[in-house]
Amino acid sequence: MTPLQQGWEMSRFVQALIAVTALSAAVPNGARAFCGFFVSGAEASLYNEATMVVLMREGTRTVLSMQNSYKGPPEDFALVIPVPVILQKQNVKTLPDAVFKRVDTLSAPRLVEYWETDPCRPQVYPMAMAARQGVVMEKAKEDAPGSDLGVRVEAKFAVGEYDIVILSARDSNGLDTWLRQEHYNIPKGAGAVLRPYVEAGTKFFVAKVDVKRVRFADGHALLSPIRFYYDDDEFSLPVRLGLLNSAGQQDLIVQILARGQRYEVANYDNVAIPTNIRVDDAVRSDFGGFYDALFRKTTASHPGAVVTEYAWDAGSCDPCPSPPLQGDELMTLGADVVGAGGGPTIGPDGQPIGRGVIPPTPNLNGFVLTRLHYRYDKDQLGRDLVFRVAKPIVGGRGTPDARGELPERAPQPSSVNNFQGRYVILHPWEGAVACENPIRGQWGGPPGSGGYRGGPAPVQGAAARVEAGRPASKPVSFERLASLVRYDIPAIDLTAKAEAQEPKQTPAAKSGGTPTPKPGGASAPKSGGAELSTHDPATTEAKDAGSKSGCALVWDGGGSGAPALWVGGALALLALSRRRRRRT
């Protein structure tokens, strides 16, 4: 058992011990406000044409990690990525696949549920829980093929199964011709898309596969994810080349890890997904379809906007579909080469600036994970994504109040980043009310769980979650969406049509108590707006994570079962088919 698994199992044991012994402690009110019992998540596997990249940013250094979704013969694979500087072998490495699934699962919008506890039970408060490098680089030769076309091979090396060249070019048509001469099947229109990169002096990372170094499973090639890093003042992601491969609408999911801050785009509009929306129990059978409809309605109301779905400390979560990111995973994604542990800055020529030093142990604390989601087609995406630091926001936290209403349904400025897309199923108490002074609207885990346990419960029927996280064969209509939500959402012009399915009123016991109204009635207020303008936020700040509406910020070990698999890819980057050479 790995240390991560040991920690997870120990946390689950401690949680079970608390539930069995019904321990209580004098803790702040905020400790009660956990974020629900996990049901399902809308990972990237929700989208048939979704691609995802993980970026880590600190100072001027960017670490870009991407997973290949290429499904064809490995000898036909090639990848072309614009990069601002000449990359050397030490800048590039391959990664394990599992870390991408971990990041996607943690940041994906989630469906949770609460049960109203017995209004006559003694109030028990929870304890707060703490939670393959390759061959040596070869120098470029002045007389390398393509020099007459204005193309220069700046570096050449191998990493894992990939043979990599770094190119510079003086003319986009010359680069187009060189790639064709080297047997890359370039789509029509490549020259025009390459031109702005060439004119800006951009270099090109070109990778192809050596079949002799490829791993196979069940006859299918397993291409390793790739990570590389560079230094550049601008923090951006080149996405225009990906349009050449586009067969229609695509989903672009950008995960950004940065110490102490979240990011948004600087050259497109930003909007936050509506959150903390109470939904009908029917959503559990097709959460993927529900969320896809909500996302479509959000982008229809905010055309061209990039949607923020998550911004939270990477070392915590609530509810947690799996443990938060661990130190070794942060190192895998770039913490070993950023900040104090990152070594010297790499210049435009790929060489270190200044004298090399032995890096100290990297600081793995304080990373914020931001999830940005953009749906686009050839007519919408005309510019690469440029990112900027954004002020902290909160949203999608807290427990329902006595009326079953949820706070923070829109992003609010704060001193911490605690925002998530969260959708809630409530189960009001339906049993007898056998006391004189019942206390309604106390929410916790499923019956028999001991009430508040500080975090998500294990998912029942976890195997079914894979299907629940995928869209229905027929997209959910906006009319159907309106029937599944219990609140109006003015920010996306959605009027709720669901009627609260209230349990039958149960009279009080003979002790003389009177019936009390059930929480979660149909008179819930309208949801707040979802427009994300936190680059210049309003002056009123939300309460931080210690407030009563906040959430626990530690992993508590709940949530069993594997989350839905996502089909990642080399995000918005040009995956080219390399022609097979004929054997003579």
Flag whether pLDDT at 579 surpasses 70: no
How far is residue 43 CA from its own chain's centroid?
A: 8
Predicted local confidence at residue 106, as pLDDT: 93
Residue 187: half-sphere exposure toward Cβ, Cα within 13 Å:
16
- At residue 554 the predicted structure's pLDDT band, cuts being 50, 70 and 90, is very low
Flag whether pLDDT at 327 surpasses 70: yes
345 CB contacts (<8 Å, ≥6 apart)?
A: 60, 61, 231, 352, 353, 354
Mean pLDDT of 44-56: 71
Predicted local confidence at residue 18, as pLDDT: 28
Question: Buried b / exposed e across 71-108, counting CB within 10 Å, b at 16+?
Answer: eeebbbbbbbbbbbbbbbbbbbbbbeeebbbbbbbbbb
pLDDT tens digits for range 523-551:
444 444 455 644 443 333 444 443 333 33
Cα 408–Cα 256–Cα 84 angle in degrees, nearest 5: 145
Flag whether pLDDT at 448 surpasses 80: no
- Top pLDDT among 230 and 245 is at 230
- At residue 341 the predicted structure's pLDDT band, cuts being 50, 70 and 90, is low
- Supply the angle between the helices 172-181 and 190-199 in degrees, to the nearest 10: 120
- At residue 463 the predicted structure's pLDDT band, cuts being 50, 70 and 90, is very low
- At residue 185 the predicted structure's pLDDT band, cuts being 50, 70 and 90, is low
Mean pLDDT of 500-510: 45
Summary mean pLDDT of the chain = 73
Flag whether pLDDT at 29 surpasses 50: no
Predicted local confidence at residue 127, as pLDDT: 46
Question: Buried b / exposed e across 11-25, counting CB within 10 Å, b at 16+?
Answer: bbebbeebbeeeeee
Flag whether pLDDT at 479 surpasses 50: yes
Predicted local confidence at residue 105, as pLDDT: 92
- At residue 566 the predicted structure's pLDDT band, cuts being 50, 70 and 90, is very low
- At residue 505 the predicted structure's pLDDT band, cuts being 50, 70 and 90, is very low
Most confident of 104-113, 504-513, 570-579: 104-113
- Top pLDDT among 520 and 447 is at 447
Flag whether pLDDT at 190 surpasses 60: yes
pLDDT tens digits for range 363-380:
788 999 999 999 887 776
Residue 274 neighbours by CB distance under 10 Å = 29
Mean pLDDT of 400-420: 91
Predicted local confidence at residue 560, as pLDDT: 31
Question: Quick check: helix, strand or coil at residue 30?
Answer: helix
Contact 519, 417 (CB under 8 A): no
Predicted local confidence at residue 147, as pLDDT: 58
Flag whether pLDDT at 389 surpasses 80: yes
- Ranges 205-219, 227-241, 343-357, 523-537: which has the least confidence: 523-537
147 secondary structure, DSSP code: G
Residue 134 neighbours by CB distance under 10 Å = 19
- Top pLDDT among 408 and 1 is at 408
- At residue 104 the predicted structure's pLDDT band, cuts being 50, 70 and 90, is very high
Long-range contacts of 45-49 (CB under 8 A, 24+ apart): 45/466, 45/469, 45/470, 45/564, 45/565, 45/566, 45/567, 46/288, 46/291, 46/292, 46/469, 46/470, 46/471, 46/564, 46/566, 47/251, 47/292, 47/471, 48/567, 49/247, 49/248, 49/249, 49/250, 49/251
Q: What percent of the chain has pLDDT over 70?
A: 62
- Ranges 3-7, 57-61, 307-311, 437-441: which has the least confidence: 3-7
Predicted local confidence at residue 576, as pLDDT: 47
- At residue 426 the predicted structure's pLDDT band, cuts being 50, 70 and 90, is very high
- Domain-by-domain residue ranges, the chain? 3-20+29-61+92-131+255-354+361-568
Flag whether pLDDT at 422 surpasses 60: yes
For the chain, the straight-line distance linking the first and the last C-alpha, in angstroms and rounded, comes to: 52
- Top pLDDT among 92 and 339 is at 92
Cα 38–Cα 43–Cα 45 angle in degrees, nearest 5: 135
Predicted local confidence at residue 362, as pLDDT: 74
Annotate 313-368 with DSSP letters as a single string: ETT--SS-SSPPPPHHHHIIIIITSSGGGS-SEE-TTSSEES------PPP---EE
- Partners of residue 184 on adjacent β-strands: 578
Residue 250 neighbours by CB distance under 10 Å = 25
The rounded distance, in Å, linking the Cα atoms of 374 and 571 is 11
Mean pLDDT of 392-415: 91
- Partners of residue 279 on adjacent β-strands: 485
Q: Is 499 left (phi over 0), alpha (psi -120 to 50) or beta?
A: beta
Flag whether pLDDT at 567 surpasses 60: no
355, burial (CB in 10 Å: exposed 0-12, middle 13-18, buried 19+)? exposed
pLDDT tens digits for range 259-296:
999 999 999 999 999 999 999 999 999 999 999 999 99
